[in-house]
């Protein structure tokens, strides 16, 4: 049976070129970058070259890039680091209700430490309202943290406007760009971003490697103590294979960005158009225009997302119902609930996230079987028969009818 991977927001395969380079820095070039001898100098040089490539991906300076173990560590360092270093200035942080748990749980932890956090609501497309953000700012606000693109529904936030507002008010602006970095063009200077989190395994580097961009002059306190690695901000011997891999992946992402975005977006739009035409009682989740090139998220009324996933899996298709980090839990997605979806609608959601390795044939195969699976599951659903016949209007007003 053929296997089709439609879950690129969860993780991506490591690029061959990246893997080969990593292997070289595990076996032949294994020096500790802090060592003064030739072995150490060799890996130190590779480390700094990788830093330049990661910086170039987002138009930052190399000395503004700090290597981490991934998105979660980057988010923790950004939030706690800024909060601790600026607590004399104020104790208020603004974020959103649809952030990844790496942000939400860090904010909850900071609330226990005496910081106060505002969680901005979102509209039905998972977009924050700039008005809400303006109204939330107080003279105690030290940080605004808004994700670049949502991992479940793909909505891209008005990052430039947020950056502009933060700059005018003299407040630091952090964005969790784990979904966007390497998959969507980002220019930290143009967007007025002060801190940005990225993760390698979302754009064909390995798991366990990431970077935090910190604009020069932003005050951040370290949260992991030890030797003076990463300019005293992130102690611990550097993960050299991971870092050189991240550098190579960043170089490839920058080189192929335009082509990749156009290609993946084409596949995405084909899926959205076809499913909208072929399957009744559905709702596209996330913003129709301002969304990630590879993200498709639909709610199928009257069925459970879980059974849809298992049926797709039996046909060789790997998709998800939300974030991989919470897929083990049966609670409906906090993102879909924040968008105002009723529980039963949120439960029937399917997320398909595409990558550069996906083909038109795979998409066509998927589009051939989804309507059948949905029809089969609905025929077994006690909700469907009565609901579909009794009331043509769906429980959520923004659903498509055919």
Position 147 confidence tier, pLDDT thresholds 50, 70, 90: very high
100 is in an annotated binding site: no
Annotated catalytic sites, by residue?
325
76 is in an annotated binding site: no
What is the Cα–Cα distance from 333 to 284, expressed in whole angstroms?
Answer: 15
Calculate the average pLDDT of the chain: 94
Q: What is the mean pLDDT of the segment spanning 132-146?
A: 98
Comparing C-alpha atoms, which of 97, 147, 144 is closest to residue 122? 97
What is the Cα–Cα distance from 301 to 102, expressed in whole angstroms?
Answer: 30
Position 323 confidence tier, pLDDT thresholds 50, 70, 90: low
71 is in an annotated binding site: yes
| Tokens 């589009």 belong to residue | 367
Q: What is the mean pLDDT of the segment spanning 64-83?
A: 98
Q: In the chain, helix, strand, coil percent, each to 5?
A: 45, 15, 40
Residues 177/148, Cβ–Cβ less than 8 Å:
yes
Helix (H, G, I), strand (E, B) or coil at 299: strand
150 is in an annotated binding site: no
Contacts of 202 (CB under 8 A, 6+ apart): 8, 9, 11, 12, 71, 178, 179, 181, 182, 183
pLDDT number for residue 182: 98
pLDDT number for residue 383: 77
Residues 144/163, Cβ–Cβ less than 8 Å:
no
Q: Which two tokens stand for residue 397?
A: 């007003």
Residue 398 has pLDDT above 60, yes or no: no
192 is in an annotated binding site: no
Comparing C-alpha atoms, which of 377, 264, 220 is closest to residue 312? 377
- pLDDT, one tens digit per residue, over 154-201 is 999 999 999 999 999 999 999 999 999 999 999 999 999 999 999 999
Residues 348/373, Cβ–Cβ less than 8 Å:
no
68 is in an annotated binding site: no
What is the secondary structure of 375-389 as a DSSP string? HHHHHT-HHHHHHHH
- pLDDT, one tens digit per residue, over 12-25 is 999 999 999 999 99
151 is in an annotated binding site: yes
325 is in an annotated binding site: yes
- pLDDT, one tens digit per residue, over 267-318 is 999 999 999 999 999 999 999 999 999 999 999 999 988 899 999 999 999 9
274 is in an annotated binding site: no
pLDDT number for residue 331: 75
Radius of gyration of the chain (CA): 22
């Amino acid at each position: 049976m053929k296997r089709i991977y439609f879950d690129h927001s969860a993780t991506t395969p490591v690029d061959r070129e990246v893997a080969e380079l990593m292997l070289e820095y595990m076996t032949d070039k294994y020096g500790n970058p802090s060592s003064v001898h030739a072995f150490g100098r060799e890996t130190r040089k590779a480390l700094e070259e990788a830093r330049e490539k990661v910086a170039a991906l987002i138009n930052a300076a190399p000395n503004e890039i700090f290597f981490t173990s991934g998105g979660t560590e980057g988010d923790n360092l950004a939030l706690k680091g800024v909060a601790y270093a600026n607590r004399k200035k104020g104790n208020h942080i603004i974020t959103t209700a649809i952030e990844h748990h790496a942000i939400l749980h860090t904010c909850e932890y900071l609330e226990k430490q005496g910081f106060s956090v505002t969680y901005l609501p979102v509209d039905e497309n998972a977009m924050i309202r700039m008005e809400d953000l303006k109204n939330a700012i107080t003279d105690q606000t030290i940080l605004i943290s808004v994700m670049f693109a949502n991992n479940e529904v793909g909505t891209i936030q008005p990052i430039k406007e947020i950056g502009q507002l933060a700059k005018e008010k003299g407040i630091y602006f952090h964005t969790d760009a784990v979904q966007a970095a390497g998959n969507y063009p980002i220019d930290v200077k143009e967007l007025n971003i002060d801190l940005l989190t990225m993760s390698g395994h979302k754009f064909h580097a390995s798991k366990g490697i990431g970077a935090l961009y910190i604009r020069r002059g932003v005050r951040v306190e370290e949260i992991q103590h030890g030797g003076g690695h990463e300019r005293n901000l992130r102690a611990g011997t550097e993960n050299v294979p991971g870092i050189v891999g991240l550098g190579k992946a960043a170089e490839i992402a920058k080189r192929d960005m335009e082509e990749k975005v156009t290609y993946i977006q084409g596949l995405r739009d084909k899926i959205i158009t076809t499913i909208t035409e072929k399957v009744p009682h559905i709702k596209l989740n996330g913003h129709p225009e301002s969304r990630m090139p590879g993200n498709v998220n639909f709610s199928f009324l009257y069925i459970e997302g879980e059974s849809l996933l298992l049926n797709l899996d039996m046909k060789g298709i790997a998709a998800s119902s939300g974030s991989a980090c919470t897929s083990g839990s049966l609670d409906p997605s906090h993102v879909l609930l924040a968008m105002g979806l009723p529980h039963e609608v949120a439960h029937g959601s399917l997320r398909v996230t595409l990558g550069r390795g996906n083909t038109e044939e795979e998409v066509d195969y998927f589009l051939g079987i989804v309507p059948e699976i949905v029809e089969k599951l609905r025929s077994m659903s006690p909700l469907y028969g009565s609901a579909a016949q009794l009331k043509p209007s769906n429980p959520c007003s923004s659903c498509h009818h055919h």
